[in-house]
């Protein structure tokens, strides 16, 4: 079954359900365009182009997962970490549209299904987990690498289960729902591990060289830096101990946001 490789072919899900998810995908992308405009600047715009090109390239490289089952990088978590969830979803959607129209990778009538699963659900699941982990884990460099890996694995599995839900609504084959769910979950755990390694390596490399280009570090850890700056900016009062007043002119330690 071609859908196990994540891209859904024509006819796997019936017309009414495919049309409904096409409308859902169009609405979601409209929101992404509106919200993404606020994020785009001279730094993020070229980065978005590089991310889309990278995702397109690695998605063309399929690797064997099981006999008759292949998989590839989805890229939702990678895009969300580097350029944010709104622009990231647009990057993945652009790749899926080009693959569908130029390479017949995924059915045209199933394009809304594929965008919903991989661009919308996958990117959203990855970013929400990234946001939670970066706030819980220590502010160390390994935390970003671990976050990228875990979020990638989870986002791939969640995106695959999006297809299970769509198949439950309007599947057209004779395969049972339990068989589809088990096959999709098992195969995409392995795909997720591969994606996690690629995403973690890529994000760690970019963060080591140019941490200012990593959207997740700029946005999700900005509140801690802001709070530290606000605390250091408060003037000393007469109620502070004398030892504290004597050291008021000493520079405050900085917070390493890229750690």
The DSSP output letter for 257 is T
The pair phi, psi for residue 217, each rounded to 5°, is -70, -40
pLDDT in tens, 10-66: 888 899 999 999 999 999 999 999 999 988 888 888 999 999 999 998 887 765 544
Tell me the fold of 12-218.
Arp2/3 complex 21 kDa subunit ARPC3 (1.10.1760)
Give yes or no for residue 232 having a pLDDT over 80: no
Q: Which range, of 31-40, 64-73, 154-163, 213-222, averages the lowest pLDDT? A: 64-73
pLDDT in tens, 114-140: 999 999 999 999 999 999 999 999 988
pLDDT in tens, 181-191: 888 888 889 88
**Domain extents in the chain:** 12-218
- In whole angstroms, give the CA distance from residue 130 to residue 148: 7
Task: Indicate yes or no: pTM above 0.85.
Answer: no
- In whole angstroms, give the CA distance from residue 105 to residue 88: 20
**Residues paired with residue 69 on neighbouring β-strands, in sequence order:** 66
pLDDT of residue 47: 93
């Amino acid at each position: 079954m071609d859908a196990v490789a994540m891209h859904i072919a024509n006819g796997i899900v019936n017309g009414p359900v495919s049309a409904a998810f096409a409308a859902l995908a169009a609405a979601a992308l409209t929101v992404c365009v509106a919200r993404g405009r606020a994020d785009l600047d001279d730094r993020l715009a070229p980065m978005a182009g590089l991310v889309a090109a990278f995702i397109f390239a690695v998605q063309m490289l399929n690797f064997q997962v099981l006999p008759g089952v292949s998989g590839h990088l989805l890229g939702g978590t990678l895009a969300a970490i580097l350029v944010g969830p709104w622009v990231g979803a647009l990057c993945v959607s652009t790749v899926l549209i080009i693959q569908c129209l130029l390479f017949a990778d995924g059915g045209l009538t199933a394009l809304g299904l594929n965008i919903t699963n991989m661009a919308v659900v996958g990117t959203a699941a990855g970013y929400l987990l990234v946001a939670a982990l970066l706030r819980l884990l220590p502010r160390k460099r390994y935390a970003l690498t671990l976050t990228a890996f875990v979020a990638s694995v989870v986002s791939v599995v969640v995106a695959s289960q999006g297809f299970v839900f769509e198949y439950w609504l309007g599947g057209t084959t004779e395969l049972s729902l339990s068989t589809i769910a088990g096959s999709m979950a098992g195969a995409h755990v392995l795909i997720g591990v591969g994606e996690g390694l690629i995403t973690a390596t890529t994000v760690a490399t970019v963060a080591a060289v140019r941490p200012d280009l990593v959207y997740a570090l700029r946005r999700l850890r900005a509140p801690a830096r802001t709070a530290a700056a606000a605390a250091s900016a408060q003037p000393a009062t007469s109620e502070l101990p004398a030892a504290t007043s004597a050291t008021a002119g000493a520079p405050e330690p900085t917070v390493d946001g890229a750690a």
